[in-house]
Amino acid sequence: MAQPVYVIGSQFMAPYPFDLIVDLNSGGNLVITDMNHKVLLKVKSCNTTFHHGRMLLHADGTPIVRVREKILSKHNRWKVFKGDSTSSSNMLFSTKQPSIIQFKTSLNVFLANKMNGKDDCDFKIKGSWSKKKCTIYMGDSHSSTIIAQMRKMQKSKKDKFDKDKFVVTISPNVDYAFVITLIAIVDAMKNLDKEYAEQISTSTSQVIGATAS
């Protein structure tokens, strides 16, 4: 990238491309390391009674940003705030799905000064989450400027292949904390979809069982 791209902080940039490993643990917790397995960032689930949420943390547990789902949103909207805040004055950006029903991963990202839905998005995620093959673009769906790409980890003779790990290649001069936050949002959305599907399946089974008895 000729011009620096940072939303969360310039301290999370490097002047060269590099890879990060994302380890998807249960319950929405993620661990992000470099290729030498040094922990750089963590993502922790911080759900409340009324909101689903995630927290991006430094390796030592210090909060960087808080992610919160917007209640009763048709387009699966999420907002991101500085530190541990949920104040609108500390909002950095928001996300939403371009369509209510979609078969592939697609997410629009709007900086805090945008009224999402009326303005063009500032960033966009497209691809297949199930195949761990998503790309993050700068600009709208017609942009070809890539700031990060996901891919599955290759099998290694030395290291046991872990299906819950994948690699993210960060472009030069790009805020990797911002990229990881977007990945955390997509992961949270997919986890919620899975939970809802399981709830519907359980309810359907209970109804069928009650009818049969």
Which residue, 7, 172, 20, is CA-closest to 95? 7
The top-level CATH class assigned to 10-212 is mainly beta
Average pLDDT of the residues in 11-31: 90
Q: Which residue has the higher pLDDT, 204 or 17?
A: 17
Average pLDDT of the residues in 100-124: 81
DSSP 8-state secondary structure symbol assigned to residue 73: -
- The pLDDT assigned to 186 comes to 94
Tens of pLDDT along 162-212?
678 999 999 999 999 999 999 999 999 888 756 554 545 555 555 555 565
CB within 8 Å of 175: residues ≥ 6 apart: 5, 6, 7, 8, 9, 10, 12, 13
Taking the C-alpha atoms of residue 65 and residue 83, their distance in angstroms, rounded to an integer, is: 4
Q: Which residue type sits at 79?
A: K
- The pLDDT assigned to 151 comes to 94
Tell me the two tokens of residue 193. 């979809």
Rounded to the nearest integer, the mean pLDDT of the chain is 84
> Tokens 């999370």 — which residue?
12
Q: Which residue has the higher pLDDT, 147 or 213?
A: 147
Query: Is residue 157 very low, low, confident or very high in pLDDT (cuts 50, 70, 90)?
Result: low
Burial 64-103 (b: 16+ CB within 10 A, else e): bbbbbbeeeeeebbbbbbbeeeeeeeebbbbbbbeeeeee
Query: Is residue 72 very low, low, confident or very high in pLDDT (cuts 50, 70, 90)?
Result: low
Taking the C-alpha atoms of residue 195 and residue 107, their distance in angstroms, rounded to an integer, is: 20
Tens of pLDDT along 75-99?
578 999 999 998 989 999 999 988 7
- The pLDDT assigned to 6 comes to 93
Average pLDDT of the residues in 39-61: 90
- The pLDDT assigned to 35 comes to 94
Q: Where are the domains of the chain?
A: 10-212
- The pLDDT assigned to 138 comes to 93
- What percent of the chain lies above the pLDDT cut of 90? 57
Q: Which residue has the higher pLDDT, 97 or 115?
A: 97
- The pLDDT assigned to 65 comes to 97
Query: Is residue 14 very low, low, confident or very high in pLDDT (cuts 50, 70, 90)?
Result: very high
- The pLDDT assigned to 46 comes to 87
Q: Which residue has the higher pLDDT, 107 or 115?
A: 107
Single pTM value for the model: 0.85
Q: What are phi and psi of 177, to 5 degrees?
A: -65, -35
Which runs of E-coded beta strand occur in the chain?
18-24, 30-33, 39-45, 53-58, 63-69, 78-82, 91-96, 105-111, 123-128, 133-138, 145-152, 165-170
